[in-house]
Amino acid sequence: MPECEICGVEIKGKVQDITIGSSKLQVCKACARYGTVIVVDKKVKTTLGGEPVQLVKAKRGLYEQMDLVIEEGMEMGEEYGRKIKEAREKAGLKQAELAKRINEKQSMVRKIENEEIIPSKEVWRKIERVLKSFL
Ligand SMILES: [Zn+2]
Protein backbone atom coordinates (compact mmCIF):
# COMPACT_ATOMS: atom_id res chain seq x y z
CA MET A 1 0.00 0.00 0.00
CA PRO A 2 1.35 3.42 -0.85
CA GLU A 3 1.56 5.92 1.93
CA CYS A 4 0.30 9.46 1.83
CA GLU A 5 3.29 11.78 1.56
CA ILE A 6 1.61 14.37 3.71
CA CYS A 7 -0.08 12.57 6.61
CA GLY A 8 1.60 9.19 6.24
CA VAL A 9 -1.49 7.00 6.30
CA GLU A 10 -1.76 4.06 3.99
CA ILE A 11 -3.81 5.08 1.04
CA LYS A 12 -6.63 2.60 0.70
CA GLY A 13 -8.52 4.21 -2.14
CA LYS A 14 -7.18 5.99 -5.14
CA VAL A 15 -3.83 7.69 -4.81
CA GLN A 16 -4.18 11.40 -5.54
CA ASP A 17 -1.39 13.04 -7.47
CA ILE A 18 -1.10 16.65 -6.48
CA THR A 19 1.36 19.47 -6.87
CA ILE A 20 2.27 21.94 -4.20
CA GLY A 21 4.38 24.63 -5.67
CA SER A 22 6.85 22.73 -7.81
CA SER A 23 6.79 19.46 -5.92
CA LYS A 24 4.67 16.51 -6.86
CA LEU A 25 3.23 14.38 -4.11
CA GLN A 26 1.16 11.26 -3.86
CA VAL A 27 -1.35 11.74 -1.14
CA CYS A 28 -4.59 10.42 0.29
CA LYS A 29 -7.90 11.90 -0.64
CA ALA A 30 -8.10 13.98 2.53
CA CYS A 31 -4.78 15.65 1.84
CA ALA A 32 -5.46 16.30 -1.83
CA ARG A 33 -7.04 19.60 -0.87
CA TYR A 34 -3.63 20.91 0.17
CA GLY A 35 -2.42 21.00 -3.37
CA THR A 36 -3.50 21.18 -6.95
CA VAL A 37 -4.84 17.89 -8.20
CA ILE A 38 -3.15 16.66 -11.32
CA VAL A 39 -5.47 14.96 -13.70
CA VAL A 40 -3.75 13.03 -16.41
CA ASP A 41 -5.95 12.83 -19.42
CA LYS A 42 -5.03 9.55 -21.03
CA LYS A 43 -6.93 10.34 -24.18
CA VAL A 44 -4.52 13.09 -25.05
CA LYS A 45 -1.30 11.83 -26.52
CA THR A 46 1.66 13.96 -27.20
CA THR A 47 3.21 13.64 -30.60
CA LEU A 48 6.64 14.05 -29.12
CA GLY A 49 6.43 10.68 -27.48
CA GLY A 50 6.62 12.20 -24.05
CA GLU A 51 4.36 11.84 -21.10
CA PRO A 52 0.64 12.29 -21.53
CA VAL A 53 -0.45 15.86 -21.35
CA GLN A 54 -1.36 16.81 -17.84
CA LEU A 55 -4.48 18.76 -17.37
CA VAL A 56 -4.40 20.52 -14.10
CA LYS A 57 -7.77 21.24 -12.69
CA ALA A 58 -9.06 22.10 -9.25
CA LYS A 59 -8.49 25.26 -7.39
CA ARG A 60 -5.23 26.29 -5.89
CA GLY A 61 -4.51 24.28 -2.79
CA LEU A 62 -4.24 25.68 0.69
CA TYR A 63 -0.45 25.73 0.70
CA GLU A 64 -0.35 27.58 -2.56
CA GLN A 65 -2.77 30.13 -1.20
CA MET A 66 -0.49 30.52 1.78
CA ASP A 67 2.47 30.99 -0.54
CA LEU A 68 0.57 33.69 -2.34
CA VAL A 69 -0.16 35.50 0.88
CA ILE A 70 3.49 35.28 1.81
CA GLU A 71 4.49 36.56 -1.61
CA GLU A 72 2.12 39.46 -1.29
CA GLY A 73 3.58 40.20 2.09
CA MET A 74 7.05 39.97 0.64
CA GLU A 75 6.51 42.76 -1.81
CA MET A 76 7.05 45.17 1.04
CA GLY A 77 10.17 43.23 1.82
CA GLU A 78 12.31 43.19 4.89
CA GLU A 79 12.69 46.32 6.92
CA TYR A 80 9.47 47.66 5.49
CA GLY A 81 9.17 49.94 8.50
CA ARG A 82 12.48 51.60 7.84
CA LYS A 83 11.70 51.88 4.13
CA ILE A 84 8.40 53.57 4.81
CA LYS A 85 9.96 55.90 7.33
CA GLU A 86 12.71 56.89 4.88
CA ALA A 87 10.24 57.37 2.06
CA ARG A 88 8.01 59.45 4.29
CA GLU A 89 10.92 61.63 5.33
CA LYS A 90 12.04 62.05 1.75
CA ALA A 91 8.52 63.08 0.90
CA GLY A 92 8.79 65.64 3.67
CA LEU A 93 5.81 64.28 5.54
CA LYS A 94 5.35 63.89 9.26
CA GLN A 95 3.83 60.70 10.59
CA ALA A 96 0.60 62.58 11.27
CA GLU A 97 0.54 63.95 7.74
CA LEU A 98 1.07 60.57 6.17
CA ALA A 99 -1.58 59.12 8.46
CA LYS A 100 -4.03 61.78 7.34
CA ARG A 101 -3.32 61.13 3.68
CA ILE A 102 -3.95 57.41 4.03
CA ASN A 103 -6.88 57.94 6.34
CA GLU A 104 -5.37 56.07 9.25
CA LYS A 105 -4.31 57.00 12.75
CA GLN A 106 -0.85 58.34 13.42
CA SER A 107 -0.34 55.54 15.92
CA MET A 108 -0.88 53.08 13.09
CA VAL A 109 1.82 54.73 10.99
CA ARG A 110 4.15 54.73 13.98
CA LYS A 111 3.53 51.04 14.62
CA ILE A 112 4.11 50.18 10.98
CA GLU A 113 7.37 52.13 10.96
CA ASN A 114 8.44 50.37 14.14
CA GLU A 115 7.42 47.10 12.51
CA GLU A 116 5.10 46.37 15.39
CA ILE A 117 2.37 45.65 12.91
CA ILE A 118 2.39 44.58 9.31
CA PRO A 119 0.19 46.83 7.22
CA SER A 120 -2.76 45.15 5.56
CA LYS A 121 -2.70 45.02 1.79
CA GLU A 122 -5.15 47.87 1.65
CA VAL A 123 -3.07 50.09 3.95
CA TRP A 124 0.10 49.14 2.11
CA ARG A 125 -1.49 50.18 -1.19
CA LYS A 126 -2.50 53.51 0.25
CA ILE A 127 1.01 54.10 1.58
CA GLU A 128 2.44 53.10 -1.79
CA ARG A 129 0.14 55.53 -3.56
CA VAL A 130 1.24 58.43 -1.36
CA LEU A 131 4.94 57.60 -1.22
CA LYS A 132 5.23 55.93 -4.61
CA SER A 133 8.10 58.00 -5.94
CA PHE A 134 10.02 57.75 -2.68
CA LEU A 135 9.80 54.05 -1.94
ZN1 LIG B 1 -2.96 12.17 3.75
Summarised one tens digit per residue, pLDDT across range 24-47 is 899 998 888 888 877 655 544 444
Mean pLDDT of the chain: 77
Q: Which of 28, 54, 71 is the last residue of a domain?
A: 71
18 Cα to the center of ligand 1, angstroms: 11
> According to the model, what pLDDT value does residue 18 have?
86
Backbone angles phi, psi at 92, to 5 degrees: 75, 30
35 Cα to the center of ligand 1, angstroms: 11
Domain that holds residue 47: 16-71
23 Cα to the center of ligand 1, angstroms: 16
Q: Are 131 and 84 in contact, with CB atoms under 8 Å apart?
A: yes
pTM of the model: 0.46
Strands, sheet with 36-40, edge to edge from the N-terminal-most edge strand: 23-27, 16-20, 36-40, 54-56
Q: Which of 71, 88, 104 is the last residue of a domain?
A: 71
CA angle 98, 102, 108 (to 5 degrees): 70
Tell me the pLDDT tens digit for each residue of 78-114.
688 998 999 999 999 999 999 999 999 999 999 999 9
Q: Which of 71, 87, 108 is the last residue of a domain?
A: 71
Handedness of CA 76, 82, 88, 93 (dihedral sign): positive
Half-sphere exposure of 70 (CA within 13 A, CB side): 6
Residue 57 C-alpha from the chain's centroid: 19
Mention every residue, 6+ apart, whose C-beta is less than 8 A from residue 60. 36, 68
For residue 126, give the CATH number of its domain. Answer: 1.10.260.40
Same-domain pairing of 63 and 87: no
Residues with CB under 5 A from ligand 1 (ion): 4, 6-7, 27-28, 31
Mention every residue, 6+ apart, whose C-beta is less than 8 A from residue 78. none
Q: Are 88 and 131 in contact, with CB atoms under 8 Å apart?
A: yes
